[in-house]
Amino acid sequence: MTQNRLSISDPIRTNDILRKYKLRAKKSLGQNFLTNEKVLNDIVDASQLQPDEIAIEIGPGIGALTEKLAQVAEKVFAFEVDQNLIPVLADTLSDYDNIEVFNQDILDVDLDQFVKDHGIEGKTIKVVTNLPYYITTPIMLNLINSDYPFQALVLMMQKEVAERITAEPGHRQYGSLTIGVQTLMKTRIDRIVGKNSFIPRPKVDSAVVVLERLEHPNEGINDPKYFNKVIRSSFAQKRKSLMNNLLNWQGRTDDNRAAIKQIFADCDVAENARAEQLSIPQFKEMANELQETFSK
């Protein structure tokens, strides 16, 4: 096998590319390049990409995941903010004619419009990506709130954020992010990825998370905006009881306390409960009742 035919992710080839282009991984852009072929294959397997499907990648880096995606998908669209990596990608991915790379900050891209402009509306589109960790949450929230129903998101992120997204009620990591994501998406951790799988080595472990759109997102929620306010207020001060957090929001009057007590009783919530103990169905019921009582 000639060196050129080594996968981009092979540590020898990754180091050669970094040397050839005198690249230094930019910490400020979350540049940690994956050099573990097994992890890359697992990410692609988790996406279940088919030959007639489209992959969108955020931050292709030097192209390690991009080339794997191009080997299974019809087409790959990749957004890379670092201008210095654009000529590198043109070189490392030159064997593939089904990849388009855009030198753009993903947070400036209107993905709904992008899908329309590129004639791929109606196609199965999956976002498969090793996220830049410094902006994991805004990127993920943009993707799950996007009008375009991406069929699946396979996202590598910090393990700690992955645990928050997939947490169950009662766990330390369960909070507003968990609920914001799980009212729209089914979530699971596909695998944990250790620090040694990257060049340079990041400070924290990572996890591959698979997010699939629920058939009925926001089901049972009368008003998603109000629901989000309830969630934010409920978790505003994690060490306080739910009652205290809701009273801080609505005002500490005897009438408000009595009304919230009644709502708790209706929703089977204990008076001294903390927000992290409530299931998502309980939050939905409570939010609907709070709105009926307090937004008349």
The DSSP call for residue 131 is -
Residues 115-144 that bind ligand SAM (CB under 6 A): 130, 132, 135
CB of 185 to ligand SAM, least distance (A): 21
The DSSP call for residue 209 is E
Q: Which amino acid is at 112?
A: D
One residue of 17, 53, 68, 82 binding ligand SAM per CB under 6 A: 82
Kindly tell me the sign of the dihedral angle through the C-alpha atoms of 160, 26, 55, 194.
Answer: negative
CB of 82 to ligand SAM, least distance (A): 4
Quote the CA–CA distance of 257 and 212 in Å, as a whole number. 39
Collapsing DSSP to helix, strand or coil, 243 comes out as helix
Of the two residues 166 and 197, which places its CB atom closer to ligand SAM in the complex? 197
Please identify, among the stretches 24-32, 163-171, 223-231, 265-273, the one whose residues bind ligand SAM according to the rule CB under 6 A: 24-32
Cis peptide before 132 (omega within 30 of 0): no
154 binds ligand SAM, rule: CB under 6 A: no
Collapsing DSSP to helix, strand or coil, 138 comes out as helix
Residue nearest to ligand SAM (CB): 59
Of the two residues 103 and 218, which places its CB atom closer to ligand SAM in the complex? 103
Quote the CA–CA distance of 268 and 257 in Å, as a whole number. 16
CB of 74 to ligand SAM, least distance (A): 20
Of the two residues 34 and 125, which places its CB atom closer to ligand SAM in the complex? 34
Exposed (0-12), middle (13-18) or buried (19+): which is 51, by Cβ within 10 Å? exposed
Of the two residues 161 and 179, which places its CB atom closer to ligand SAM in the complex? 161
Residue from 7, 134, 136 nearest 62 by CA: 7
Which are the contacts of 214, defined by CB distance < 8 A and separation ≥ 6?
183, 184, 185, 186
Number of residues that bind ligand SAM (CB under 6 A): 22
Residues 91-120 that bind ligand SAM (CB under 6 A): 105-107
Quote the CA–CA distance of 50 and 87 in Å, as a whole number. 28
Q: Which amino acid is at 119?
A: G
CB of 36 to ligand SAM, least distance (A): 10
Residues 213-272 that bind ligand SAM (CB under 6 A): none
CB of 199 to ligand SAM, least distance (A): 9
Residues 32-71 that bind ligand SAM (CB under 6 A): 32-34, 58-61, 64-65
Binding site for ligand SAM (CB under 6 A): 29-34, 58-61, 64-65, 79-82, 105-107, 130, 132, 135
